[in-house]
Chains A and B, each alone.
Chain A
């Protein structure tokens, strides 16, 4: 759809950032739609069943889960985030409501976040300088909330590290990662 309004990335550019710092690659992802899903009181099982049927994986505590189209990660004891391809699921909320009905509160979160994917061997060294997550000991698929330089983030260990930070702080978050990676590269 050719829109009237042109989108910008969280870093204020037309194209997402892609850069190499030492052995690591950092990629800004703008191709993922997000929505939070919070089952309503007493309807957790119903929501899980409906989600499973439609291929929306429900993550375990402090875990990310992957499906064919949808992926998800845990936020709080009663809320998780669903990820889907932006191109096909930009307006993600009605799509999820169609699956989950009124059993869950669903909120579009796509543009609340900036997402950086980091890959390369030895990412533990970078995150030792950024946050208190024990990346070395964390299993693949681990998802947690953490704080980087005062900025609340979600961190997922998934083929490297996926980091979600507040969109408005994208520049500061990128600066922090860039600086930390630079010192240990």
Chain B
């Protein structure tokens, strides 16, 4: 055990967990990484490409190496960073990308063959044969070079989403974030303080510094306690703000239950929050960067700040003999802290020349680490000092190449950061409106500087709201940082830049040599900065090495684009509750409950559930039900719920003029008490919707649309009303939901309805295409004499709450006529029999002329789409026309999706004469019938044609007929 005294872990409780099947113990407050290090486990994974042994590099979310699979079954999650996974009782974790075991990985052979695996080798090697890539090369490469795996079992946990609002969002609860939240919270601002860690305090918990009269971790705990008690402050630990979006919107994931074996009953695993904050403070700290030197990736080599954090926060020293390699004063703190804890600090290798030496420590100035040794973990380092090489036996090495302000959020809107020579790093600049960086995230590295800039930013946020936010800063260190940049130490072997993707200095050189020098090219060519860590530790190093190669400054070399998410976000969290039956809402029709009780089969039409057919006892096939519904309707009477059709109330003194402009045909002449069928065109002249509009009063109309386009038509009408013709006096509102509407069709429709309707609805009382406001037992209702089926038909509407009552009343009243209730299938059969167009014909590429409705497009007025519908090609006489199609042999079943070919014509695109749009079995005619668009169709009645489906391999001989299979003269509907 390498536990030392102190730390922020709860030693009163012990938690048992497993790693690769072996049992270990940790304490509350431990991460998987700290607990494994405490148990002398340094080897935690294998690298992506070379399968090199790897341990932890960091102590935070930037970790590139220590990726593990945690949990099992549906909860198994790959690529979990051991450095942020909290230990809980029963946690199971496994190493990834190794076979058969972590300590003996057969694919470690890749490391020996490294010369074959340089950057770009896939592109050069797996060139041919091209078809081998998808089936052979890629699967093999993916298996060999990879990250963790999923079990493919369903995730049993629930996820949630939500919306939060604040005056000020503070991202990061280190010294700057805590001070900002305290300053704003004390002033009464609504503050959200979010931090990815489970313990607020950031680096304050990792240092042995003092803040005010307290130790830094104690001060953080006091500050968090005060914040928790402030009524307007919401503390959100375990919450990663992963993205900045437009207009002050931030995306955050709260890991509600990831620290527990399973979510508490009724709780979710994670919540995706959308945070609305006009002002935000980015106090996200800084990320330490490594230095590239030969074999700098062995387990035991870690960042100096991480080494210090493990000692101070988790009371773990991952070694007995420790060295530190640094180019800045912050790195020296690691040596001082460890020595104070009684650890054997073998040497401090300081790349800078001159300056004071650390007392009581072998402090080598002007020195560098040039190589390391150790198979599965560090055993020694080679140091070069004043031209001399020396090997030191150490089992832990802390490396500090400096600190990069954590720019993640600030630069997501593509603003380029500025370069600071003082700290040899990029600092944030020109971020999204309302977002300011403070503390280390702004390149201010001292504790005092963090506290000060945090408080100042909070005060400014308060002032922007007209509030005062005075503050007093606790005393804290304000030591200089003093960095002398060192990116890479010259060497003969491989020096890692990006440990997650196995990108070395040699790879960067190769990229430069092959002219992939731009940082974005460098990334794609070498994979630098890809995968789960997005190059948090390696990106700048790679850019700096490239800068040295090109002779450009690092500033000019730049950084790749920052994008959300800052750290990986599970798909479950993005999906939230929207899965399974909760994927989308359902819309139920007024007859739904009745239909369900009758055993109706439902079909999803958009969000609506509509009755598709209503099987009767003994019917085993859908066609039996549908045929029966069709025949009964045509023989007597049928009832169908048509509530889903869009209804739009159009009123105003200019309502008629408005309708005249949105419909291609004339509406100005529509009389009160009458309905008219109308076509709506897009601006390009194609038909996009059709329906009936009724005139109920001088300035009052009710429009119906297709079910599918109800929202689109309404939106277009609003656009026309508000934007195109704001001078028209017209008001619209949807009434789709307000009225339950049923179609009653068939020769006995009138007789049935007359039993319920209080008024006279004889042909004289309500002629074809008439409409009236009527009553049913005194209840206000509407009656429209319109027909989609070709029968004598009505649509009757009552306020929706009475819809259930009305279907029951209609069925009861229809009993003496043998009335049926029919669904959308029978509806479809009857409309095809009648030759009415529907969705299949309104396909967005068809004009009224194509549909045989060319005469409806009025040239005597201006309406949307009319002008462009007259384009030459669209009015060609031999263009596509709607026709009816019936098989020459009635026993033949045509296939949907078939195309028309002349007899003897080869099945080529040039010979394509059109296609079949709608196909149904007509029980009335006893064979299949279809509608279709046929080239020059109107003049080809009676012609025999081949109906060919190359996909299904079918060819049927058919005859072109009128699309009106039933009652072409329209005698029934006028009956």
Contact = CB atoms under 8 A, between A and B. Distances in A.
A98 interface: no
* Residue of B756, B798, B799, B801 with highest tally of chain A CB at under 10 A: B801
A128 B739 CA distance: 33
Contacts of A169: 585-588, 607
A61 to B, nearest CB: 17
Contacts of A45: none
Given A3-B802, A106-B651, A107-B651, 7 more contacts: A5-B776, A40-B731, A108-B738, A109-B738, A110-B801, A168-B737, A183-B160
A111 B801 contact: yes
Contacts of B578: 149
A129 B160 CA distance: 8
A150 B606 CA distance: 13
Contact of A38 (B276, B607, B651, B801): B651
B809 A112 contact: no
B785 to A, nearest CB: 21
B618 interface: no
Contacts, number: 153
A90 B651 CA distance: 21
A30 B799 CA distance: 13
Interface stretch (B161-169, B512-520, B541-549): B161-169
B637 to A, nearest CB: 19
A54 interface: no
B375 to A, nearest CB: 50
B780 interface: yes
24 contacts: A3-B802, A4-B776, A4-B779, A4-B805, A5-B798, A7-B801, A7-B802, A7-B805, A8-B805, A36-B733, A40-B652, A41-B728, A79-B731, A105-B651, A105-B652, A105-B700, A105-B731, A109-B738, A110-B799, A111-B737, A111-B800, A166-B737, A171-B586, A182-B266
B384 interface: no
Contacts of A9: 801
B255 to A, nearest CB: 15
B735 interface: yes
A58 B593 CA distance: 38
B266 A136 contact: no
Contacts of B582: 149, 175, 179
Between B266, B274, B608, B733, the greatest number of chain A beta carbons within 10 A of the residue's beta carbon is seen for B733
B649 interface: yes
What's the interface size class on B, roughly?
35 or more
A5 B160 contact: no
A12 B165 contact: no
Contacts of B589: 168
Given A5-B779, A12-B593, A173 B162 contact: no
Contacts of B162: 128-129
B652 A6 contact: no
B738 A110 contact: yes
Interface in A152-171: 166-171
B63 to A, nearest CB: 31
A107 B733 contact: yes
Given A4-B776, A112-B737, A167-B737, A183 B801 contact: no
A172 interface: yes
B805 A128 contact: no
Contact of A183 (B267, B584, B738, B804): B267
B729 A41 contact: yes
Contacts of A105: 649, 651-652, 699-700, 731
A40 B801 CA distance: 29
Nearest to A78: B731
Interface in B224-283: 266-268, 274, 276
Given A12-B588, A149-B585, A111 B738 contact: yes
A136 B165 contact: yes
B765 interface: no
Contacts of B584: 150
Nearest to B805: A5
B200 interface: no
A147 to B, nearest CB: 11
Contacts of B738: 107-112, 167
B653 interface: yes
A134 interface: yes
A79 to B, nearest CB: 7
A121 interface: no
Contact of B266 (A128, A175, A183): A183
B163 A131 contact: yes
A15 B584 CA distance: 26
A151 interface: yes
Contacts of A12: 588, 592-593, 804
Contacts of B274: 132
B587 A1 contact: no
A113 interface: yes
A134 B607 CA distance: 28
A137 B649 CA distance: 35
Contacts of B740: 111
B239 to A, nearest CB: 14
Closest 8 CB pairs of A and B: A4-B777, A5-B805, A172-B585, A105-B651, A111-B800, A38-B731, A41-B729, A168-B587
Given A78-B731, A91-B780, A183-B268, A167 B800 contact: yes
B538 to A, nearest CB: 38
Interface centre among A79, A169, A176 (most CB of B within 10 A): A169
B801 A8 contact: yes
A61 B751 CA distance: 50
A113 B805 CA distance: 18
Nearest to B775: A4
Contacts of B592: 12
Nearest to B758: A4
A171 B396 CA distance: 61
A108 B800 contact: no
A107 B735 contact: yes
Nearest to A91: B780
Contacts of A183: 160, 266-268
Contacts of A131: 163
B710 to A, nearest CB: 11
Contacts of B550: none
B577 interface: yes
A131 to B, nearest CB: 6
A55 B589 CA distance: 36
Contact of B588 (A7, A38, A132, A171): A171
B651 A5 contact: no
Nearest to B729: A41
Contacts of B587: 166, 168-169, 172
Contact of A172 (B160, B586, B736, B804): B586
B953 interface: no
B662 interface: no
Nearest to B779: A3
A137 B465 CA distance: 14
B276 A132 contact: yes
B292 interface: no
B802 A112 contact: no
Interface in B161-189: 161-165
A150 B733 contact: no
B580 to A, nearest CB: 12
